């Protein structure tokens, strides 16, 4: 990736977006951060604001955007069930209308565009691990459909714009990721468990805790984003990005409890509707095409993540969307 390019990052004040903005600046690029602060936080990008190559625009991508750029990372969309189910119609609009608007912008300025898709396009998978050729098992009218089907439709739009208009696209399916800048109130399992453990509150597990997830540290994922965008134009994806090492939810709770020295008890709640029983990426394609594999063990990545939440809690900062 040549230095001095201009990047537009939608959702740039969010968890992944803020890390990506910082990485792009470190690589010598100019960055325009777009966010409506529904789940993104200004605190995530505070350290970047003095950089003359960094610019922020408050904007909702469900409305058209008229700017100039060389590359677009489309990350804008609430990604946790608590947030995307709060306003499901707007979630679908963000995925679908947002994709149409960003693809239209890319077409107009001839930019390369990256879509942050999700492992949720696989739904509650019938095959394990999930590879990119799997079409998924999604409930189109369930509570999670606003996100699952919204992202699936966005992928459709990206591939149709590529076929119909010759647009340079990259589609990545992101699996569970964790690290500093996660929101404290987003209902994701890593942040939930860490905050509950640090407060010595009951650690809430849904179901019996045997369901599995794979956890990728954010720095590893951002490496993959950069490598994906920098890959040859003929490689468009979709490509799975995540850590294939699998942990049960109960095992994760025990690791976090041990690392925080917490006195929390484990509490079991009913399993939510359409909650996937297994989630593990097959990253053979990413290894082959991007020469990428995650390198951060769970305990190593959890250390700075726990320190981040300790800092948030000690300062009494309201780490939530604005």
Angle in degrees, CA 3, 42, 79, rounded to 5: 85
* The predicted structure's pLDDT at residue 157: 98
Q: Answer whether residue 87 is part of any domain.
A: yes
Please tell me which residue in 84, 147, 217, 308 is annotated as part of the active site. Answer: 147
Could you list the residue range(s) of the whole structural domain that residue 95 is in?
A: 6-177+217-243+280-294
* The predicted structure's pLDDT at residue 318: 53
Mean pLDDT of 160-178: 97
Q: Answer whether residue 307 is part of any domain.
A: no
Q: Answer whether residue 302 is part of any domain.
A: no
Q: Answer whether residue 168 is part of any domain.
A: yes
* The predicted structure's pLDDT at residue 230: 97
pLDDT in tens, 24-40: 999 999 999 999 998 89
Does residue 317 have a pLDDT over 70? no
* The predicted structure's pLDDT at residue 117: 98
Phi/psi zone of residue 316: left (φ > 0), alpha (ψ -120 to 50 degrees), beta?
A: left
Q: Answer whether residue 255 is part of any domain.
A: no
Q: Answer whether residue 165 is part of any domain.
A: yes
Does residue 320 have a pLDDT over 70? no
Mean pLDDT of 14-33: 98
Mean pLDDT of 84-96: 89
Mean pLDDT of the chain: 93
| DSSP assignments along 26-44, one per residue | HTT-EEEEEE--SS--GGG
Q: Answer whether residue 271 is part of any domain.
A: no
Does residue 321 have a pLDDT over 50? no
- Name the percent of the chain lying above pLDDT 90: 80
> Residue 212: which pLDDT band, with cuts at 50, 70 and 90?
confident
User: CATH number for the domain including 125?
Assistant: 3.40.50.720
Mean pLDDT of 50-78: 96
Q: Of 51, 41, 36, nearest to 13 (Cα)?
A: 41
Q: Answer whether residue 204 is part of any domain.
A: no
Does residue 82 have a pLDDT over 80? no
Q: Is 147 a catalytic residue?
A: yes
Does residue 17 have a pLDDT over 60? yes
> Residue 322: which pLDDT band, with cuts at 50, 70 and 90?
very low
Mean pLDDT of 179-205: 92
Lowest mean pLDDT among 47-51, 186-190, 305-309: 186-190
* The predicted structure's pLDDT at residue 80: 65
* The predicted structure's pLDDT at residue 236: 98
| Number of structural domains in the chain | 1
| DSSP assignments along 42-100, one per residue | GGGGGGGTT-TTEEEEE--TTS------SEEEE--S--SHHHHTTSHHHHHHHHHHHHH
pLDDT in tens, 239-280: 999 999 999 999 999 999 999 999 999 999 887 765 667 778
Higher pLDDT, 143 or 226: 226
**130 burial type by CB count under 10 A (0-12 exposed, 13-18 middle, 19+ buried):** buried
């Amino acid at each position: 990736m040549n230095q001095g390019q201009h990047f537009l990052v939608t959702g740039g004040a969010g968890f992944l977006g803020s890390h990506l903005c910082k990485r792009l600046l470190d690589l010598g690029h100019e960055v325009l951060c777009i966010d409506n602060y529904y789940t993104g936080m200004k605190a995530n990008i505070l350290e970047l604001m003095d950089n003359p190559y960094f610019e922020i625009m408050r904007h909702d991508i469900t409305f058209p955007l008229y700017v100039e750029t060389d590359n677009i990372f489309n990350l804008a969309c609430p990604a946790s069930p608590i947030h995307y189910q709060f306003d499901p119609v707007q979630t679908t609009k963000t995925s679908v209308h947002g994709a149409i608007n960003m693809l239209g912008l890319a077409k107009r300025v001839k930019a390369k565009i990256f879509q942050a898709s999700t492992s949720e396009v696989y739904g509650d998978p019938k095959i394990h691990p999930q590879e990119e050729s799997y079409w998924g098992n999604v409930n189109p009218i369930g509570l999670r459909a606003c996100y699952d089907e919204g992202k699936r439709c966005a992928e459709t739009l990206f591939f149709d714009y590529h076929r119909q208009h010759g647009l340079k696209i990259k589609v990545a399916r992101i699996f569970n990721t964790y690290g500093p800048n996660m929101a404290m109130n987003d209902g994701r399992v890593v942040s939930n468990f860490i905050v509950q453990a640090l407060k010595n509150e009951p650690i809430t597990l849904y179901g019996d805790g045997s369901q599995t997830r794979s956890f990728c540290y954010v720095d590893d994922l951002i490496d993959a984003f950069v490598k994906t965008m920098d890959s040859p134009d003929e490689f468009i994806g979709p490509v799975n990005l995540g850590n294939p090492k699998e942990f049960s939810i109960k095992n994760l709770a025990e690791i976090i409890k041990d690392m925080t020295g917490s006195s929390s008890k484990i509490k079991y709640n009913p399993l939510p509707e359409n909650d996937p029983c297994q989630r593990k990426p097959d990253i053979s394609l990413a290894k082959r095409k991007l020469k990428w594999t995650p390198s951060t063990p769970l305990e190593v990545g959890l250390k700075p993540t726990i320190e981040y939440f300790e800092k948030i809690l000690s300062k009494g900062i309201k780490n939530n969307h604005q």
